Structure 1
Amino acid sequence: MSSMAPSRSRQETVLFPRLMQLNRAGVPDPEVLAEQLVVLHTGPADYTLLTVGYPDSVRKAVEALLTTHGIA
């Protein structure tokens, strides 16, 4: 496993609170959405290290995910 890859416990620490929020919101498949949101956050977070801020495409991607999962 790459040293850059997050540990399983770190992934669970990041995903668990989001899963709880999504479960309370009644999302049909909260595990999938939580993982997708974490992945969408991680890439742009790295991108911001090289630039000034998040690209607009991130907001649009999150909106599309939420719409797909019946939230927005």
Structure 2
Amino acid sequence: MTALSRTALRIGCAIGAAVCLVGVVLVAVMIAAWQPLSAAPAWLVTFAGVMVVTGIATTVIFSTALARRHRR
């Protein structure tokens, strides 16, 4: 298995943060558009949740790898 460069790890962190940000923006739009929030379409709520969780997980994975690389 080949190790990723520091630049690739930083790019992965940035992509994860951007994905999470898209999910947060979707949640904010849903809060503004649908009152109560349970009136929002289920697919949109699910999609926003998946985006937030995927973004957080990706950011944590890449930042952990970057921190391990930095310690060496």
TM-score band by shorter chain is 0.3 to 0.5
Higher helix share: 2
- In the superposition, the TM-score normalised over structure 2's length comes to 0.37
Which gives a bigger RCO, structure 1 or 2 (Cα 8 Å, sep 6+)?
A: 2
Give the structure-1-normalised TM-score.
0.37
User: Is the radius of gyration larger for structure 1 or structure 2?
Assistant: 2
